[in-house]
Structure 1
Amino acid sequence: MSTATRVVSVYNLTPQLAPPGDGKSIGSIIDIGTRQRFVEQAAHLLPSVVSTQRIAPDEYCGQLGALFSEVLLIVLQTVRGDTLILIEATAAPSTSTAQLRDYLTFMDASRDHITIGDQRLTERIADVLDVPSSASISVGYFHELVFAGGALADEILAQPTLATATLVVDRELRGPANHPSIFDTRTPEVLNLPGEAVTVHSRRVTVTAGWDRSVQDALTLVVLMVIGAFGVMRRSRDRAFRALKFQAAADTPSIAEARSVLARLAEELSEVQLDLSFGVEAYIDSVLLPGGRMQGYRHSLHDVVGIDAALVNTTRMVDRLVTVIQARSAVLDAAEQEARERRDRILSVLLGVGSTIAVPATLLLAFFSVNSSDVDDQASILDLSRYWPAYALAWIPFLTLLTVAMFLRNRVRTRMPAQTPWVTTGGGPGRTSRTPSGRGTRNGWG
């Protein structure tokens, strides 16, 4: 067990960035002991280390830096481009429990005012990642871990409620008469050994004493994955809403433009689904990192933060949006089909009219072009008093055919398909049941 107390604060950075190119394996900063092989094997799926910087305590957070003997800033990125910030501060021997509590509160409530020298933390990270300084850690979930050492660890092991009373419970959760409320705190059984080790956590803070560095790193890794998962879910919801808002505001006077907008919306949702798969689902179970202590802490932390319910709700939102896209795509398909049918009908009508006009005219021209005594080369072909029988023979068959076709077309009606009447089965003797023929029978009695 370490003689020094370490405080680890974990944040997620917004917005999403490009996936890292050549980051180091997370195994370079995390060592979970005998199960380290799982970290190495899953390194391509776990966050990678982009930057590690040692910060001089006198440059860290103004006067708060005097509480610590060493400060380490670590920047990580997931395979989907989500950035995680880990600040590890080692408390000086003179740091009191009350000062640690004030520091925990500051790191939560005033995270936008964390400074390194004359720069804000986000500005320093923007320089490291070469991104716009608009990056922020002000929104989203975060967590702090206090790995007690030395005298603080001895006090917590002797009086486990000390961790809950002074460090874990948020001040706004305190009950009447300023007594801390232990509601919404957890003590994972697998991480609590009477007299040997204590672990207590809430949604915001985890305090542990008596465990070696490998267990502490395992808890840190679980927190990193939870923070990353929450950041992905928050971004996924925002991304899906903005995509839907873009679709609603888009001016789509044509079917082609409407389909283009839907295609873009579908592409956005595909990215959201990939985010949920590789940024959330891959991180919230024990497939990548099995282990009894890690699993016990993971279940306990997931329960208090409600990550499983959040994933279900986020997935349901995305699924419903996919359903909306499919429904609107079906409407566009129907509109396109109707347009094609209208074009086909217009073409058919034009061809029919053309045939109706062309065929009789062809017959008449053929008649007048023959060398016969029935055709007087001195008379006009428009002389109906002389050639009316030829005109009648040329037009009457086609007019008759057209009349019969219109008559048969008007007889066609759209009919509802035949339906079988509802059959209601009685719940006991004496109740009437409707049969397909509509007659009543006495159920159970003939």
Structure 2
Amino acid sequence: MNSDGTRSDGSGGGLFAPYASRPHLRITSVYSTSWVCDPAQLPSDRRPLTETLDFGRLTPFYVSAERQLPRVLRKETLDCASLVCQRWRTGSPVAATLWHFLHPSGQILVALTLDVPLGLVEAVPLMEDLYYASIECAGIPLERLAGERAGFDALPCAQGQQPGFLPERHQLVFRSVASPEDAPDEDTVQRVIYRTDLPYRPEHSSITYPAELNRRPTTVGALGPYASLICGHQDYIENCVLLSAVQTVGSAARLREIREITYSYGHRFRARPDGERDIHRRRTALEAISDGLSHLELELSYSVEAGGDIGTLVPALRVESFHNALYTAMGLTERSAVIGQMLTRLGNAIAAELTSVESAEQRAADRRRIRTVVAVTFVTTITGTLSLLFGFFGVNAQQVDEQRSMFDDRYTPIYALIAVILACALAIFSGMRLHERWAERRERSRMYRWESIHGLLVREFGAVMLDPARLVGPPPSPRVPDPRPPDGDSQPSGSTTQ
């Protein structure tokens, strides 16, 4: 079998797609951006992904999984003569293409593809320019050009907000290989991956070689966290690799955003105001954070973790091997687990705080119920007492003289009895109210006091809280000690006498 995909003896037709025979080196740099777009608002008549990128025999799988993979929003050919780099000035590209991709999460990514007549090591300065976007097109920086093409300049921007790329980015270097002798060696691979023309020690390297991409003598696949080298593969495999890189870079950017929001939620939870007594405001603040955490949990699952599984969508060994290796090389698997633990533990802390709020609300409801019962009992006592009084004067008995006034001294005992009953009821109500206020003040001092982690360490662990004002104060004036102690004083420990 030769590199054209036919049998070496000339019998039979082509069994698979021929390997890429591109005469020039192709470099594609993928950049993440802060621009987002709702995938549901895309026009229905847009071109499908498979019409922009050729996936060969894998096209049916990419068609069925189109909603779960990045989509091509724009593809534009740039004028190569107008491209100016900061470090690479020894030539000009043969072809230049600017891409705009839409990640399933709604994030927009930008990719720049250049075909250059360079060798692998000679392309290192150009890769350095492309990685840091140090390239201009007709005097316009790449970041601003990509923002204008995406319509960023037509939107109202916040003060100080500039169109720019996020830290997450990855470079792909594609090269054709005609024979096994033409395949790059390990030293050349490391110079391309690390973008430096220096020797290295192989035992101290983070470059990975996926097995399926290095199976043939004329195929090479080497991956690093920020650059990958793909040599001797078919065109449709290179397109699959490009889409996997876009998926991975978008997931990495979304993962960092999730971490930043989670950290801000944790800071907001720990920096609650001291002396907050309004239980409703406490519950509202906690519910707002809890609602945000639920969205972050879902985003972490669907936009980051689910993006690491390509084998379920595209059953191709080389595609799956590259995708999994790139996820591992960029550290997304471990970072997803760490951020998932952050979300879980913050959710548990908020749930515990909400339990405390519910307990306080239940005690408040119990106190309101007791006050209502006491008030009703007091009213019942008054009305019962008055009923007793007027019932006494309305009874037909010899103790009630109709010739005497109801305020006569003769009825002093019955009035005294009624006064004692009223006084007892008032004393009981006042005593319960005073006890309730005392209990509320004690709970406020114990339950409503927001305690930071530093206060917890001081109270439970015995740590010492220092005064920040003294830590940042002016240092004491330096004084050079006298090398010889005064007469009669003892020599310092370890010193020698002359």
Aligned with residue 70 of structure 2, among 28, 31, 47: 47
Per the TM alignment, residue 145 of structure 1 is displaced from its structure 2 partner at its CA by: 1.0
CA offsets 1:356-382 (integer angstroms, 9 cap, x no match): 232122111122134544322343434
1:272-287 to 2 correspondence within 5 Å?
272-285=296-309, 286-287=311-312
Q: Aligned runs of 1:294-373 on 2, under 5 Å?
A: 294-373=319-398
- What code does the residue aligned with 1:271 have? H
1:136 matches 2:155: no
- Candidates 95, 108, 123, aligned match of 1:83: 108
SS of residue paired to 1:44:
helix
Equivalent runs, 1:157-172 vs 2, <5 Å: 157-161=182-186, 163-171=188-196
Partners of 2:304 and 2:228 in 1: CA distance: 21
Gaps of 5+ in 2: 1-19, 432-498
- Residue 176 of structure 2 is aligned to residue 149 of structure 1: yes
Deviation at 1:123, TM superposition (A): 1.7
SS in 1 for 2:66: coil
**Partner residue, 2:229:** 207
Establish whether residue 121 from structure 1 lines up as the match of residue 148 from structure 2: no
CA-based RMSD of the aligned residues comes to: 3.2
CA contact (8 A) 2:213 2:318 kept: yes
SS state at 1:68 partner: coil
Distance 1:139 1:318, change over 3 A: same
C-alpha distance in structure 1 between counterparts of 2:202 and 2:293, whole Å: 44
Give 1:215 deviation, angstroms.
Answer: 1.2
Q: Is 2:32–2:166's contact at 8 Å kept on the other side of the alignment?
A: no
How far 1:335 moved relative to its partner? 1.7
User: Structure 2 CA distance, aligned partners of 1:134 and 1:86?
Assistant: 19
Say whether the 8 Å CA contact 1:7–1:90 is kept in structure 2. Answer: yes
- Structure 2: distance between partners of 1:326 and 1:393: 53
Further displaced range: 379-388 or 309-318: 379-388
1:187 and 2:205 are equivalent in the alignment = no
- Residue 88 of structure 1 and its aligned partner are, at CA, apart by 1.1
Equivalenced residue count is 393
- Pairwise CA distance, 1:234: 0.2
Deviation of 1:209 after TM superposition, in Å, equals 1.6
Q: CA deviation at 1:71?
A: 0.8
- Between the aligned residues of both structures, percent identity stands at 21
Listed as ranges, the matches of 1:23-38 within 5 Å are: 24-38=47-61
Deviation for aligned residue 1:300: 2.3
Distance in 2 (CA, whole Å) between partners of 1:391 and 1:365 is 15
Which letter maps to 2:283? R
| Counterpart position of 1:262 | 286
Moved more, 270-279 or 247-256: 247-256
Cα 1:371–1:387 change in 2 (3 A) is farther
- 1:295 and 1:343, CA in 2 relative to 1: closer, same or farther beyond 3 A? same
Q: Deviations over 1:265-317 (max 9, x none)?
A: 12222221222122112210122223211122223223322221111111111
Contact 1:50–1:75 (CA under 8 A) maintained in structure 2: yes
- State whether residues 16 and 82 of structure 1, in contact with CA within 8 Å, keep that contact through their aligned partners in structure 2: yes
**Quick one: which amino acid aligns to residue 300 of structure 1?**
A
1:217 to 2:217 alignment: no
Q: What is the TM-score when the length of structure 2 is the normalising length? A: 0.71
Query: Contact (CA 8 Å) 2:255, 2:300: kept in 1 or not?
Result: yes
